[in-house]
Amino acid sequence: MTSKPPLPARMFDPWPRIPIDTATGSDFFHLDRIAGDAATRWALGPEGAYAQNLTLAEVVDGAVREALLHLLELGLIDIDSDRLNAAPGLPMHRERTNS
């Protein structure tokens, strides 16, 4: 596992990014497929986007929520609560990376 870079010193400072291998067959590739399947099944299911005629923003929020819940419930990802709570702010805007 890659070590985590230090948290930003001030609110709104950029968060340093960790390089991620997104190649076919990588760990990310497998998690992406699992999360994508969970999100798609939610969207097409009886409580999902099509059944509820949701807005695009609601679809995105619901799909991301379902995908994260699925990965967390499987124990494939963990929330670093200490890091999350120690940060001076949350990184709400993502800058593009090469990953």
Is residue 23's pLDDT more than 80? yes
Total structural domains in the chain?
A: 1
Inter-axis angle of helices 56-73 and 27-44, nearest 10:
130
Task: Please indicate whether residue 90 or residue 41 has the higher confidence score (pLDDT).
Answer: 41
Domain that residue 81 falls in: 27-85
Is residue 53's pLDDT more than 60? yes
The model carries a pTM of 0.83
86: tokens are 């120690």
Secondary structure (DSSP) of 39-89: HHHHHHSTTSHHHHT--HHHHHHHHHHHHHHHHHHTTSS---HHHHHHSSS
Task: Please indicate whether residue 1 or residue 55 has the higher confidence score (pLDDT).
Answer: 55
Whether residue 21 contacts residue 27, with contact meaning beta carbons closer than 8 Å, is answered with yes
The mean pLDDT of 28-50, rounded to a whole number, is 94
**Residue 36: inside a domain, yes or no?**
yes
**Residue 33: inside a domain, yes or no?**
yes
Is residue 68's pLDDT more than 60? yes
